[in-house]
Homo-oligomer: A and B are copies of this chain.
Amino acid sequence: MSFELGPVSPAGARLVELAEKHAAEFAATADEHDRRGSFPFAHWDHMRQSGLLAASVPTELGGLGVGTVSDLVVAVSRLARGDASIAIGAAMHLTAFWYFARLAAGEAAGAAEGAAEGAFGPMLKLLLRRCARGHVVACVAISEPGTTLGWPRTTARLGNDGYHIDGRKAFCTGSPVGTVFLSTVRLVAGGGGESLGFAVVPRESAGLTVLDNWDALGMRASGSNDVVFSSCRVPAGMVRPSGPLGALSTAMLPLATVGALMLVGAALGIAERAQELIAPPEAGDPGWSALPAGRALLAENEIDLAVGRAAVSRAAALLDEHLGSSRSPKLLHALMQEVQCVNVAVKRAAMSIVDRTLTLSGGRGYLTANPLSRLYRDVRAGPFMQPFSNLHAFEYIGRVRLGWDTELDHEPRGGSG
């Protein structure tokens, strides 16, 4: 008996059930994909077909109609129990379509300064419908080495035939199956003025290349390749201004906030899987259970899991309660701060949990053949994720608490991210 997280709505219940089925499939191949660093195309196909990737698409457009962050994050945690490499890609896609559905539903329309108008509006509906038919996978392409989210070096310059985008994005999870790439860009005006922009770039765009260069410690089946834009042309309507450089605009904050929490869900799922592997309920008493020190480590994991679940659950509930169509920077930053608190805490806890299962394994978990050794590597990816990595999160959280401006006032030096 264990009080795991569950769905909060009937649509969510269908989603979580789906996610559990997928996870069972993922689990069977996770170690092999990890070893080979191969991308699990088949599993992604299944997720397109099952409707999971259309979770937040309204039912009238053919989706599951899941309307809450609470349900989505639980689904991501379930997927991560099977294979976290897939779960983080799905999380990003689901976040994007949560956002598109929100825009399309017009909940935010009024406040969004005409967001759904022009070329963007119809595109949204089309995207949602195509997603429901399994034809779209959104891939988030925002990270760049040596800079932070608010200061992209990838430029977008408006010409007669739309925007020309140049630059290189890294850690583009799910890129092998991405059909549309969501990117932050630096809008360069004719006069040289610069601002932040947000681009939606179809895969078939000329000048877009998805590399095959992902080779990392963990999350090896995530296809987190680099994506290169070389004079990549996209229609003007696919690029939207997002305020000054260095700042998270009120339009972007909900997206970034929900996206961050979804990835926390993945970390939780990894931790739950590790605990299940080290002490499978059906398997009687593992050897280490004879040692009080072993039981104490198990208990520390139970503590971290209980608290981690609560943290994810409350943050999701707060988002569902407060996000609404608000564009109050104060509220939006308060929500992001809450999510960042949970982000730091749960990813830290997840790493500790997996580490303790390795200790409990008595050396077995250190062997490549043991899935714990994969989880140990996968879970370490958590704290790197944008926004904010552990190098930036504390400063952000502290500033919000002090009521200070959270915009970084200057661009990072080029040396490193």
Contacts and interface: CB of A to CB of B under 8 A. Distances in A.
B344 A303 contact: yes
Contact of A402 (B298, B315, B330): B298
Interface stretch (A123-131, A133-141, A229-237, A289-297): A289-297
A141 to B, nearest CB: 14
Nearest to A309: B314
A327 interface: no
A342 interface: yes
Contacts of A145: 362-364
B306 A3 contact: no
Interface residues of A, number: 91
Interface in A202-220: 215-218
A303 B393 CA distance: 10
Nearest to A143: B363
A27 interface: no
B359 A390 contact: yes
Contacts of A292: 292-293, 296, 395
A376 interface: yes
B306 A345 contact: yes
A306 B341 contact: yes
A401 B306 CA distance: 12
A159 interface: no
Contacts of A297: 391
A103 to B, nearest CB: 25
18 contacts: A1-B331, A3-B338, A143-B363, A145-B364, A170-B363, A171-B363, A217-B368, A287-B412, A290-B413, A292-B292, A292-B395, A298-B398, A300-B394, A302-B337, A303-B344, A306-B311, A360-B391, A377-B377
Interface of A: 1-3, 143, 145-146, 170-171, 215-218, 279, 281, 285-300, 302-307, 309-311, 313-315, 318, 330-331, 334, 337-338, 341-342, 344-345, 355, 358-364, 366-369, 373, 376-377, 380-381, 383-384, 389-399, 401-403, 412-417
